[in-house]
Amino acid sequence: MHLLGVDIGGTFTDFVLLHNGQLTIYKRPSTPADPSQALLAGVAHLGAPQAIIHGTTVATNALLERRGAHTALITTQGFADVLEIGRGTRARLYDLNVQRPVPLVPADLRLELPERLAADGSVVQPLDEAALTALVQQLAAANVEAVAVCLLHSYANPAHEEQVVAALEATGRGWFVCSSAEVLPEYREYERTSTTVVNAYVAPVLDRYLGRLEDELTKQGVPALRIMASDGGSMAARAARRLAARTTLSGPAGGVVGARTVALQAGFERVISFDMGGTSTDVALLDGRLPQTQDSYVGGLPVRLPSIDIHTVGAGGGSLARLDAGGALRVGPQSAGADPGPACYGRGEQPTVTDANVLLGRLRPDAFLGGAMVLDVARAEAALQPLATGLGLHLAETAQGVIRVANAAMERAIRAISVERGSDPRAFVLVAFGGAGPLHAAYLAEALGMRQVLIPRYPGVLSALGMLAADVTRDSVQFLAMPLAALDPAMLTEQVRRMAQQQGYADLRRDAGEGASLVARFTLDLRYRGQSHEINTPLLTFEQPLPDMEQWALPAATLTETTERFHSLHRQYSGHAMPDRPIETVALRLKLVASLPRIVAELTARDAPQTAPASVPTPQPVATVQAALARDDATLHPTAIYEREHLTIGTRISGPAIVVQFDTTTVIPPRWQATSVAQGHLLLKPED
């Protein structure tokens, strides 16, 4: 097995190479002008693998920075302003200056077509072919690059959308055309329109990027490229080029999968993942499984596609520190990025969180990236001095203030996914990773009352490692609006057969490669009559060997069992169930998962021993530096430095101490202790 996981971040591009059970890690600065350049340079350095699994922010950045394709929307007459109207809900109830995101498609390119379907898919008004011809001519004069087609109730009957798509493609103009029936065949008009438009807007950008990348990788001898999807799985590059909206949380999803992988290795199921990189921090709560949602927002726009439930804040190692108009200290969300980067990297001039860590002695200037990069302490001091002058504080006190403000933002993010949703963070283990995560993890855990922090063996590249462990996935949905009591087994059998046969098991197995194990999971979106929200409820699961769908029939007890599952889930989520209330079916979903047990086994049985030796040697520091590791004290004290590579299983280190390694630095504050556990992970706990 020879696979390469690549995660392109805002500051660094991370590589994890898995070759015959051995891991090689590598980092190099990202190249924001063309992200593929850093990736290709890394492949040239490491050698060509059998396949690359790549987490990319190309689609995300195109959406956030509004650099997507010039896009038009074709919709039913009377619905051109759906994107403008949106929903009546307010994200910040008492903010009198709320600004809605500007629609991706301007008003003059939101084109209406005379046609109408009823909610059951029946034709109320046939599509006006003369109007369609005129509309196509209008688009030809508008110089658009992409067209989103979203007609009313097309999830129940896609015929009119298919007719429009055929007319657009027949022009031969090379427009990227996508329909809501292809992207999101579900009801909820605003979310369906928004998601389809987002896909049309970002797909040409991602298509160009992946096209160039695949050409260059082919020249380097790499035969296969997979892209990390927002749901924590991966997909073939050709699928990503068509359904680019599925990659809007590509990079962060790899980190959550990696956190789950190492947490299970260490024996933990209930964890909070804390991924602090150079530009932002991503957090997620995992209570035994990957947290899934259909309702993600990117740049304020709904993208209603399967994704991991991740909360992001603009606090990272490169986050800029400044004084606002009132003289208060602010950190982020603006970032120095990869270019120019923090001041201590030698090119930037503005102060960042990384510069503050350097001044507090928490980053060793001569050991950054294994000594491959020397940090400029004098430049960091010069960048922070204007802040210190403005605050009337010493440099070290100012640096301490920058760290505390950044930590407060990250603490709020963790509370948002735990306390605000009814979960007690004290019952979870904090899994800290990213280049900067282990620097801050113990302070966040202490503020939240958490008793355990797990630092993975390779925290700085865990997102790339997670991409190697990710399943290959494919999702589809069939709108199915009817009372559950009216859904007889014969009808559901036919629906399941049709969806299973359309999805192409062979294609998925080919994308996953040799040794893949296929699972098909069917679920129903159910709700009590009168509700406006659904609960995704397990229906049935097919594991290998998959059944012959021509001979398969739904077991008689399945619907009864599904009904009981729905009542139980409703009680779990809402605190009550209503077994006497009629249940409505909204949609049938299929998730195909091609898991790769051999890869996961190789990642698990790595080079680190599983158990402690009979005699654990006392760790010896490699140096002593002046550092301030106390949460509320900026005074520098002699602090021992340890090399991660020298720690054996069972080794214990009491704080204050610093552990350095190639891809990150771990801070052990006073009154904390770190123990090297199985697989070489570090487990931090407060000293009792």
pLDDT digits (tens, 9 = 90+) for 629-641: 998 899 999 999 9
Q: What is the pLDDT of residue 111?
A: 96
**Per-residue pLDDT reduced to its tens digit, 49-63:** 999 999 988 888 888
Q: Average pLDDT of 184-192?
A: 93
Confidence of residue 668 (pLDDT cuts 50, 70, 90): very high
Q: What is the pLDDT of residue 507?
A: 73
Q: What is the pLDDT of residue 602?
A: 59
Residue 683 scores a pLDDT above 80: yes
Q: Are 252 and 309 in contact (CB under 8 A)?
A: no
Confidence of residue 93 (pLDDT cuts 50, 70, 90): confident
For residue 468, what is the DSSP state? H
Q: Average pLDDT of 647-664?
A: 91
Q: Which residues of 309-342 are buried (b: 16+ CB within 10 A; e: fewer)?
A: bbbbbbbbbbbbbbeeeeeebbbbebbbbbeebb
Q: Average pLDDT of 613-618?
A: 68
Confidence of residue 358 (pLDDT cuts 50, 70, 90): very high
Residue 451 scores a pLDDT above 60: yes
Confidence of residue 571 (pLDDT cuts 50, 70, 90): very high
> Structure tokens of 291?
């947290």
Q: What is the pLDDT of residue 601?
A: 61
Which amino acid is residue 432, in one-letter code?
Answer: A
Q: Cα 283–436–321 angle (5° rounding)?
A: 95
Q: What is the pLDDT of residue 632?
A: 87
Q: What is the pLDDT of residue 80?
A: 95
Q: What is the pLDDT of residue 508?
A: 76
**Residues contacting residue 420 through CB under 8 Å, at least 6 positions apart:** none
Residue 608 scores a pLDDT above 50: no
**Per-residue pLDDT reduced to its tens digit, 260-284:** 999 988 899 999 999 998 888 999 9
Confidence of residue 87 (pLDDT cuts 50, 70, 90): confident
**Per-residue pLDDT reduced to its tens digit, 460-518:** 899 999 999 888 888 888 898 899 999 989 989 998 988 887 766 667 777 777 677 88
**Per-residue pLDDT reduced to its tens digit, 100-142:** 889 999 999 999 999 999 999 999 999 999 999 999 999 999 9
Residue found under tokens 């509309």: 135
Q: Are 308 and 230 in contact (CB under 8 A)?
A: yes
Residue ranges with strand state E in 372-506: 429-433, 453-455, 472-483
Q: What is the pLDDT of residue 606?
A: 46
Q: Are 682 and 650 in contact (CB under 8 A)?
A: no
**Residues contacting residue 38 through CB under 8 Å, at least 6 positions apart:** 8, 13, 28, 29, 30, 31
Q: What is the pLDDT of residue 337?
A: 77
**Per-residue pLDDT reduced to its tens digit, 200-215:** 999 999 999 999 999 9
Please tell me the distance from the alpha carbon of residue 646 to that of residue 627, in angstroms, as a whole number. Answer: 21
Confidence of residue 613 (pLDDT cuts 50, 70, 90): low
Beta bridge partners of 149: 74, 179
> Structure tokens of 162?
């298919």
User: CB burial class (10 A; 0-12, 13-18, 19+) of residue 606?
Assistant: middle
Confidence of residue 597 (pLDDT cuts 50, 70, 90): low
Mean pLDDT of the chain, nearest integer: 90
Confidence of residue 190 (pLDDT cuts 50, 70, 90): very high
Please tell me the distance from the alpha carbon of residue 455 to that of residue 430, in angstroms, as a whole number. Answer: 9
Residue 324 scores a pLDDT above 50: yes
Residue 250 scores a pLDDT above 90: no
**Residues contacting residue 122 through CB under 8 Å, at least 6 positions apart:** 157
Residue 370 scores a pLDDT above 80: no
Q: What is the pLDDT of residue 614?
A: 60
Please tell me the distance from the alpha carbon of residue 26 to that of residue 483, in angstroms, as a whole number. Answer: 55
**Per-residue pLDDT reduced to its tens digit, 3-41:** 999 998 777 899 999 888 788 889 888 888 888 999 999
pTM of the complete model: 0.88
Q: Which of 447-456, 538-547, 613-622 has the lowest mean pLDDT?
A: 613-622
What percentage of the chain reaches a pLDDT higher than 90? 64
DSSP letter for each residue of 289-338: S--EES-EEETTEEE-S-EE--EEES-STTEEEEE-TTS-EEEEEEE-TT
DSSP letter for each residue of 236-298: EHHHHHH-GGGGTTHHHHHHHHHHHHHHHHTT--EEEEEEE-SS-EEEEEEESS--EES-EEE
Residue 670 scores a pLDDT above 70: yes
